[in-house]
Structure 1
């Protein structure tokens, strides 16, 4: 009975997310912020779309190598092919089943079978996701700091106003908070302090948290692997930004400089990563539209639509194909099994 209730709640949540996406797109279209003609013009340039697909896939390849680097930090070796396959399957699950059956669950569970240190493996999956978000914050913070330096020297860029200044300050605060969090988990003396132990002791599921905390400290002690993973994360982000920049060119968005893109895109992608809807649909369109409007561009919504189209094409096309091959070989990767696994995780 409890399982049926959880299933109903899950379906209800997914329905609410879908309704949210529909409402957002209807609003954007009715308000004139979504120009279908601009999209059709961009899609009539297949060369741009192909290059964007290639760069997006390249970003994924680099991020897979980043994850493999973190796995090596906890003495787990995984070849590129299975790691890439699991990442593709994970992206497929994230799009088709954005609820409890997330791509991270697929990656972590499949590799954890037969492994002694399951907590360490799961930690690498979480750490990999966090590192990707941290890299976005880092790039935006650096770009914002450069703009602020020009502003204080009397050479403020044209887009420097009260709204963009507030956004830069928010990213700076987020960057400071992210670094403080990293110190708590990665710096040995702080992570092993009495204060941190007391905080963990006061939390629910403290046994699991202690295992993850121990695995995180293990990654932190492997400074070479961590630095290399951060470098790979930067490369992955650059490839992704290049992919979106190509789509912007297809839309004839010409008003933003390279420096502005290095600030705008990480901010948009950070908001897009908020788990409100499948793949950030709706959320990303509103974020791109609002942030690009601050820089005098009215095609941010269309850019988000193209970005999602490219991302979903890879997830559903290539990810779906790999999933079909894997599910035939191993029924433990099936949708039904993963849904049961998600319910077990909720119980635990």
Structure 2
């Protein structure tokens, strides 16, 4: 009965996420000149998109390296190769199995099962890795708002943006010290990695803008891109689909900018994310058996 109840909850969550994504995309596409949107996407430069794809995956490699630092603190000594493959499997679960165990849940389950380490310790590492990423995201968003058109329209809020810039990492350090003291020795390096991760994604988005031949207002689009990334953190859509598009559409309209390029950017970024996540499909298997095989090969080579 308990398993059936859990399955029903997962199904309900999946249906909810799909519904939110579909409704959000419908709202955007219904209000957008779809013919022009398709024209913008179809004329995108493939070489710029390739560079965008590479920078996106660079951000994911850096993210896996950062996560592995947290694992080492709790006594999990994973090879970088095994950890990277596990990370991509987690991406696959997040993107293509909405409402299920989720990417973080999969990693926690596999690592606890294969290494016999306390699940709470693995959860703490994965959770604080996520928090580190959120602080970097907020920091960079605050950095891009002052030079954007938003500052022209609402200059009264810019001091708050500077305050966020000044206080983000002192607050992050304080919370780490109070809540997860074991991670303080790696605070500086993981904070730097977090900024590099988000910066790599911003560069990826910028190359998409170049692919779409956007002549101006790049800062505005990139600032909205970061804001839309904050919107995708909430697990109410499938892989962020719909949340990013609707944020772009209404934000660009509010700033008086042309929304088609922003919507095209968000759709292409989602496509890059999905294609990248498909790599994880090659390594996922029931109860992590394929991942266990890779782990064993790495340990054998190390020996």
**Which has the larger displacement, 174-183 or 272-281?**
174-183
Matched, 1:272 2:262: no
In 2 relative to 1, CA 158–287 (structure 1 residues): closer, same or farther, beyond 3 Å?
A: closer
Q: Which residue of the partner structure matches residue 172 of structure 2?
A: 182
- The answer (yes or no) to whether the contact 2:17–2:238 under 8 Å persists in 1 is yes
Alignment CA distance shift 1:73-1:5 (3 Å) = closer
Cα distance, 1:17–1:56 mapped onto 2, change above 3 Å: same
| TM-score, scaled relative to structure 1 | 0.73
Q: Is the 8 A contact 2:142 2:161 kept in 1?
A: yes
Match in the other structure for 1:336 = none
1:79 aligns with 2:43: no
Structure 2 CA distance, aligned partners of 1:325 and 1:55? 31
Asked if the contact 2:95–2:277 (Cα under 8 Å) also holds between the matched residues in 1, the reply is yes
Q: Distance in 1 between matches of 2:41 and 2:194?
A: 30
Q: How does 1:172-321 map to 2 (within 5 A)?
A: 182=172, 185-187=175-177, 191=178, 213=179, 216-220=180-184, 222=185, 225-258=186-219, 260=220, 263-293=223-253, 294=255, 296-298=257-259, 299-316=261-278, 318-321=279-282
TM-score, L = length of structure 2: 0.83
Number of residue-to-residue matches in the alignment:
288
Give the structure 2 partner of residue 29 of structure 1. 29
Structure 2 residue aligned with 1:136: 137
Cα distance in 2 for residues equivalent to 1:48 and 1:261: 17
- Secondary structure of the equivalent of 2:98? coil
Describe the SS at the equivalent of 1:279: coil
Three-state SS of the structure 1 residue aligned to 2:16 is helix
> Following TM superposition, by how much is the alpha carbon of 1:158 offset from its aligned partner in structure 2, in angstroms?
5.4
- Give the match for residue 160 of structure 1: 151
Unaligned runs of at least 5 residues, structure 1: 148-156, 192-212, 333-348
* Partners of 1:319 and 1:48 in 2: CA distance: 24
CA contact (8 A) 1:272 1:287 kept: no
Unaligned runs of 5+ in 2: 294-303
**Post-superposition offset of 1:174:** 6.5
* Matching residue of 1:123: 124
Q: Which protein has the larger Cα radius of gyration, Structure 1 or Structure 2? A: 1
Tell me the SS of whatever aligns to 1:278: coil
Greater Cα shift, 290-299 or 87-96: 290-299
Equivalent-residue separation in structure 1 for 2:277 and 2:128 (angstroms): 22
* Secondary structure at the counterpart of residue 236 of structure 1: helix
Query: Could you list the per-position Cα deviations for residues 291-336 of structure 1 after superposition, in whole angstroms to 9, with x for gaps in the alignment?
Result: 33426242211111010000011112x111122599553699xxxx
**What is the distance in 1 between the residues matched to 2:228 and 2:14?**
23
Within-5 A mapping of 1:30-49: 30-32=30-32, 34=34, 35-42=37-44, 45-49=45-49
Higher mean C-alpha deviation, range 176-185 or range 46-55: 176-185
Please name the residue that 1:323 is paired with: 284
Q: Please give the secondary structure, in 1, of the residue aligned with 2:215.
A: coil
